């Protein structure tokens, strides 16, 4: 728990100075002492670097765990997945499916009197209701994720610290869209799309951020 750069280098630098200052009638004992001291310093540096790498890896693992195992489940229950976003996006689009079906071979596999627009509306209603039921159960929990991000900031560059701040702002925007879906009663479909789009972009930003942190820390 007391491991740090000053303790490592101060202790072994003092040991080296003491070894070199010892008087001896023979040249070889001094050379031997010097070699031992240098080897000890090299071992200390190697040990310190390994300890530092392990600490970085542990902090990054905590961030990834907090995101995927705490934050994401808190904003999307088992009934919501990102796959649903793409399906829902198509379902709520203002498209005349009947017109599309008539100009393509799409309708050949269906009865001639089928109303594709009605099916589309039913699908839209189904997804909207399913999503709302699940979203109303969610309680956003970003505390652990933000705390984990703050713990690694002191070891990063100014640019990466700013990127972490921007990502935290993204998290708060996601929570805002989530509460908007919970509370709004008008234009609910667009509110859901805004939420899904934000989560989708947030996922991409998180992967990019963690990759940049790995690269900077050489882990």
DSSP 158-182: HHHHHHHHHHHHHHHHHHHHHHHHH
Q: Rg for the chain (alpha carbons), in Å?
A: 30
User: Is the pLDDT at 24 greater than 60, yes or no?
Assistant: no
In angstroms, rounded to a whole number, what is the distance separating the alpha carbons of residues 156 and 149?
A: 11
Q: Which helix (H) or strand (E) holds 9?
A: helix 5-21
| Averaged pLDDT for residues 124-152 | 85
User: Is the pLDDT at 51 greater than 50, yes or no?
Assistant: no
Contact 177, 194 (CB under 8 A): yes
Q: How far is CA 184 from the centre of its chain?
A: 28
The more confidently predicted of residues 125 and 141 is 141
User: Is the pLDDT at 79 greater than 70, yes or no?
Assistant: no
Handedness of CA 148, 150, 156, 158 (dihedral sign): positive
Number of H helices, E strands in the chain: 9, 0
Token code pair at residue 58: 């542990």
Report residue 90's pLDDT band, with 50, 70 and 90 as the boundaries: low
Residue pLDDT, tens place only, 61-73: 899 999 988 998 8
| Averaged pLDDT for residues 204-219 | 90
Report residue 95's pLDDT band, with 50, 70 and 90 as the boundaries: low
> Model-level pTM?
0.63
Q: How confident is the prediction for the chain on average, in pLDDT?
A: 73
User: Is the pLDDT at 36 greater than 80, yes or no?
Assistant: no
Handedness of CA 181, 186, 187, 189 (dihedral sign): positive
pLDDT for 150 = 93
pLDDT for 2 = 44
Residue pLDDT, tens place only, 150-164: 998 988 899 999 999
């Amino acid at each position: 728990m007391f491991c740090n750069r000053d303790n490592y280098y101060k202790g072994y630098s003092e040991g080296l100075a003491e070894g070199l200052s010892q008087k001896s009638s023979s040249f070889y004992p001094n050379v031997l002492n010097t070699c031992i001291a240098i080897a000890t310093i090299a071992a200390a540096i190697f040990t310190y670097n390994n300890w530092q790498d392990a600490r970085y890896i542990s902090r990054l693992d905590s961030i990834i765990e907090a995101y995927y195992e705490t934050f994401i489940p808190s904003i999307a229950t088992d009934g919501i997945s990102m796959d649903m976003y793409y399906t829902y996006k198509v379902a709520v689009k203002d498209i005349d499916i009947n017109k599309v079906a008539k100009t393509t071979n799409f309708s050949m596999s269906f009865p001639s009197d089928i109303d594709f627009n009605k099916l589309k509306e039913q699908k839209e209603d189904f997804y909207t209701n399913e999503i709302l039921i699940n979203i109303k159960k969610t309680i956003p929990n970003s505390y652990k994720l933000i705390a984990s991000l703050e713990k690694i900031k002191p070891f990063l560059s100014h640019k990466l610290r700013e990127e972490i701040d921007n990502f935290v702002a993204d998290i708060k925007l996601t929570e805002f869209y989530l509460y908007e879906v919970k509370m709004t009663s008008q234009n609910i479909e667009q509110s859901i799309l805004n939420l899904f789009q934000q989560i989708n972009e947030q996922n991409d930003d998180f992967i990019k951020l963690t990759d940049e942190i790995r690269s900077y820390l050489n882990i």
